[in-house]
């Protein structure tokens, strides 16, 4: 699944990084593996692209330094140079790749370093930098460390120094990729009562909850009511003892700030659980976790977007999806649809002529709909023969299209959109729709789109509903902007 939603700016820097990591998790590109091609000490093409695109955001100088030290295992051809440039790789980095290509060596067998395959990896929670170094020094198999990192995450962001040390100790590119994609912000603030109860309801092991409390403490004191709630949720006497011994009285001066920060952290924790449920296509769990997030903070857009996404793509409930998508936009977020863009340069006049005349080969009947009572299959369409995939974003008073190949992309206020509607003839077999955008004076640029679901043998009714939802959201924002 692929989706994106806008994030409001939040002043706390770690929350921003948390949110950005979260966005990348729902994002249209997976983060599990940063490398491809031969696994050796040199960098693969995809890793160079990901050094540019993904956190923690290396500078050109840092990336070039790494390339000079470890080389690359791909040769720069015109096609690869174009692919790198499309991925955001700058000319100096491409030049460094060209100068530091390391051709594969022809060898028979490479002696493997002595390892400790039976050494277990103890502990829980994200790995620190020192723990990763220690495991490599103990010769634990890199694939075993990689799996542990995927399960537990890491508490540090990669930098050139750490990357070089991991390489020196025998770490692989795959391990470095796992570390880069599983960086999590470690929360050290005391646990609130609701957080402890939530852990108990999720059946987290009591020993693990106690250990967390020992490390972080709690922000609430025990009273008869709280003690009874914890007992009813499955808490033990040992857990109550840990809570009683680790209560930290809040500092009145910073109490408001810490409470707000804690609430945001709780919000994104529920959002994170909703995302995991969406990835598993678990509609009940996704909606439950999203509603929990909304109960913490109804003014943030992310949970509303997830409810809209779940209702549209898992339950097919367009009415509920529309309501939650509008809530997302109202709260400063944005919703997106995966669309196919017809790249033909169709001017507004040409488009209107095609729509009015019913050009041969373009007019396509939807099966079962037409003047005749006999259903027939749509004719082959000349529309979308030259096309590209992309995302259509709709936010408050604004519409943006981001093409995968950057062609035909635009970002305009709804005041510049003249018309958004279904096509009468052009691309009708794909349930195409168009956006007419002012391009100066009386000129208009016509953009033709179709939902990606219309190209993937999806149910016809779903594609039509998805298309109408996008059109209605655009027109609603256009009306909103005009009425101001």
Q: Tell me the Ramachandran region of residue 393: left when phi exceeds 0, alpha when psi lies from -120 to 50, beta otherwise.
A: beta
Instruction: Tell me the pLDDT band of 367, cut-offs 50, 70 and 90.
Output: very low
Give me the pLDDT at residue 62, please. 83
Distances (CA, A) of 76 to 44, 49, 58, 92, 104: 12, 14, 21, 13, 15
Inform me whether the pLDDT recorded for 474 exceeds 90. yes
Domain boundaries, the chain: 129-181, 193-245, 335-483
Residue 50's nearest CA partner among 30, 68, 65 is: 30
Rounded to whole angstroms, the Cα distance separating 12 from 432 reads 43
Q: Which CATH class is domain 335-483?
A: mainly beta
> Two tokens at 393?
């974003």
Q: How deeply is 291 buried, as exposed, middle or buried, from its count of CB atoms within 10 A (0-12, 13-18, 19+)?
A: middle
Inform me whether the pLDDT recorded for 286 exceeds 50. yes
For the chain, what is the mean pLDDT?
A: 77
List the beta bridge partners of residue 218.
Answer: 191, 247
Name which residue leads in pLDDT, 340 or 255.
Answer: 340
Instruction: Tell me the pLDDT band of 159, cut-offs 50, 70 and 90.
Output: confident
DSSP alpha helices (H): ranges in 138-201? 142-152, 160-168, 173-181, 193-201
Residue 277 has φ and ψ, to the nearest 5°, of -65, -40
Do 53 and 31 contact (CB within 8 A), yes or no?
no
pLDDT digits (tens, 9 = 90+) for 289-345: 999 999 999 999 999 999 999 999 899 899 999 999 999 999 999 999 999 998 775
Residue 438's nearest CA partner among 479, 410, 471 is: 410
Q: State the virtual CA torsion across 426, 431, 432, 433 in degrees, nearest 10.
A: 110
Specify the 3-state DSSP secondary structure of 284.
Answer: helix
pLDDT digits (tens, 9 = 90+) for 73-83: 889 998 899 88
- Kindly tell me the sign of the dihedral angle through the C-alpha atoms of 263, 264, 266, 267: positive
As a whole-number percent, the residues of the chain with pLDDT over 90 amount to: 30
338 secondary structure, DSSP code: E
Name which residue leads in pLDDT, 129 or 484.
Answer: 129
Of 172-181, 353-362, 369-378, 465-474, the least confident: 369-378
Give me the pLDDT at residue 323, please. 95
Do 334 and 6 contact (CB within 8 A), yes or no?
yes
Rounded to whole angstroms, the Cα distance separating 247 from 432 reads 60
Residue 452 has φ and ψ, to the nearest 5°, of -60, -30
Give the contacts of 53 (CB within 8 A, at least 6 positions apart). Answer: 87, 88
pLDDT digits (tens, 9 = 90+) for 198-219: 899 988 889 889 988 988 889 8
Instruction: Tell me the pLDDT band of 376, cut-offs 50, 70 and 90.
Output: very low
Q: In the sheet where 334-342 sits, what is the strand order?
A: 410-413, 398-403, 387-395, 334-342, 444-451, 433-438, 417-422
Rounded to whole angstroms, the Cα distance separating 478 from 104 reads 57
Name which residue leads in pLDDT, 173 or 122.
Answer: 173
pLDDT digits (tens, 9 = 90+) for 15-44: 444 444 344 333 323 333 333 333 345 778
- Residue range 360-388: mean pLDDT, rounded: 45
Q: Tell me the Ramachandran region of residue 183: left when phi exceeds 0, alpha when psi lies from -120 to 50, beta otherwise.
A: beta
Do 207 and 179 contact (CB within 8 A), yes or no?
no
Rounded to whole angstroms, the Cα distance separating 287 from 275 reads 10
């Amino acid at each position: 699944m692929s989706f994106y939603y806008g994030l409001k700016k939040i002043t706390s820097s770690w929350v921003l990084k948390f949110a950005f990591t979260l966005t990348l998790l729902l994002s249209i590109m997976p983060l599990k593996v940063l490398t491809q091609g031969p696994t050796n000490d040199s960098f693969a093409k995809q890793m160079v692209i990901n050094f540019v695109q993904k956190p923690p955001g290396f500078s050109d100088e840092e990336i070039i330094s790494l390339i000079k030290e470890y080389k690359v295992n791909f040769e720069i051809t015109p096609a690869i140079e174009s692919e790198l440039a499309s991925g955001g790789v700058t000319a100096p980095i491409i030049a460094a790749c060209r100068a530091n290509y390391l051709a594969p060596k022809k060898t028979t067998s490479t002696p493997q370093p002595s390892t400790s395959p039976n050494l277990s990896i103890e502990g829980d929670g994200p790995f620190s930098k020192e723990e990763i170094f220690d495991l490599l020094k103990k010769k634990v198999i890199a694939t075993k460390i990689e799996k542990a990192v995927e399960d537990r995450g890491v508490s540090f962001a990669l930098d050139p120094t750490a990357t070089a040390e991991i390489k020196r100790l025998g770490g692989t590119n795959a391990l470095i990729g796992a570390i880069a994609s599983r960086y999590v912000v470690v929360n050290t603030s005391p646990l609130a009562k609701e957080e402890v109860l939530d852990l108990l309801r999720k059946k987290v092991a009591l020993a693990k909850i106690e250990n967390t409390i020992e490390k972080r403490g709690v922000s609430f004191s025990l009273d008869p009511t709280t003690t009874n709630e914890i007992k009813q949720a499955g808490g033990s006497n040992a857990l109550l003892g840990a809570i009683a011994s680790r209560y930290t009285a809040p500092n009145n001066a910073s109490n408001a700030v810490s409470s707000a920060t804690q609430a945001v952290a709780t919000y994104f924790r529920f959002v994170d659980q909703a995302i995991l449920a969406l990835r598993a296509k678990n509609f009940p769990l996704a909606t439950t976790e999203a509603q929990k997030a909304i109960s913490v903070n109804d003014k943030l857009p992310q949970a509303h977007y997830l409810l809209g996404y779940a209702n549209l793509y898992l339950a097919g409930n367009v009415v509920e999806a529309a309501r939650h998508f509008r809530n997302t936009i109202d709260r400063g977020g944005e919703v997106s649809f995966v669309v196919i863009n017809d790249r033909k340069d169709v001017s507004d006049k040409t488009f209107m002529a095609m729509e009015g005349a019913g050009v041969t080969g373009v007019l396509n009947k939807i099966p079962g709909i037409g003047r005749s009572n006999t259903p027939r299959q749509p004719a082959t369409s000349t529309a979308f023969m030259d096309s590209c995939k992309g995302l259509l974003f709709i936010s408050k008073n604004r519409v943006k299209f981001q093409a995968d190949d950057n062609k035909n992309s635009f970002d305009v206020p709804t005041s510049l959109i003249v018309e958004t509607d279904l096509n009468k003839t052009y691309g009708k077999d794909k349930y195409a729709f168009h956006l007419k955008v002012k391009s100066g004076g009386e000129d208009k640029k016509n953009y033709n789109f179709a939902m990606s679901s219309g190209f993937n043998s999806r149910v016809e009714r779903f594609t039509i509903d998805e298309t109408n939802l996008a059109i209605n959201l655009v027109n609603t924002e256009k009306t909103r902007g005009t009425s101001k």
